[in-house]
Amino acid sequence: MLYDLQGEGNMSTIVGMLYGAVRENSERLKSITEGMSQEEVDYKGPGGHYNSAAQLIKHITYVDLNWVYRIKGEALPQSLKDEYGPMIDEHNKLPMVRGISLDTLLSKYEVVFNLLKDACSQLTDADLDRIVTFGHENEKQATLRWGLWHMADHNRYHQAHINQLRKWYSEQRSGMESE
């Protein structure tokens, strides 16, 4: 397998490279979650004090969905906010997610990723200079170039959390088996 950050044939060079980084992390998310049981998907770490893989995947999906609509220059429709959100709960934490299968979480992520692919195919490299607002109250500004990079970086950041959860879960399971 050759690793590269090429976009699709219909994408401009820099857009394609940034899209390629998001795609790479999308594929990695699928590979690091492969084989997770429902119990492991819902596992919240030692003492139940952390975000579960389910919460993290749903969060990645919703963040990416918001960026797709920023890229498109459109407001996120309320129907999608209702289906994919909210970003945070009333305690400023990631909303609880329990009992949703890994397949369901990843297929919702795939829908968003395909929306991103379509949006990127409409962008030119010059469009990457466009400034958009983001943040819980749209208090921050960034270029679309930064937004695409952020999608890849943010995904990978939470993949590290999922890897840690998997390690803890495995240690917990092997500790239970040796008792």
pLDDT tens, position by position, 161-171:
999 999 999 99
pLDDT tens, position by position, 3-42:
777 778 899 999 999 999 999 999 999 999 999 999 999 9
Question: pTM here?
Answer: 0.93
- Residue 30 backbone phi and psi in degrees, to 5: -65, -40
14 - beta bridge partners?
Answer: none
Query: Is the CA virtual torsion 80, 42, 63, 138 positive or negative?
Result: positive
Mean pLDDT of the chain: 94
| pLDDT mean over 95-101 | 96
90 - beta bridge partners?
Answer: none
Q: How far apart are CA 173 and CA 171, in angstroms?
A: 5
Q: CB under 8 Å to 36, separation ≥6 — which residues? A: 53, 102, 166
Residue matched to tokens 């466009």: 130
* C-alpha R_g of the chain: 17
Q: How far apart are CA 50 and CA 48, in angstroms?
A: 6
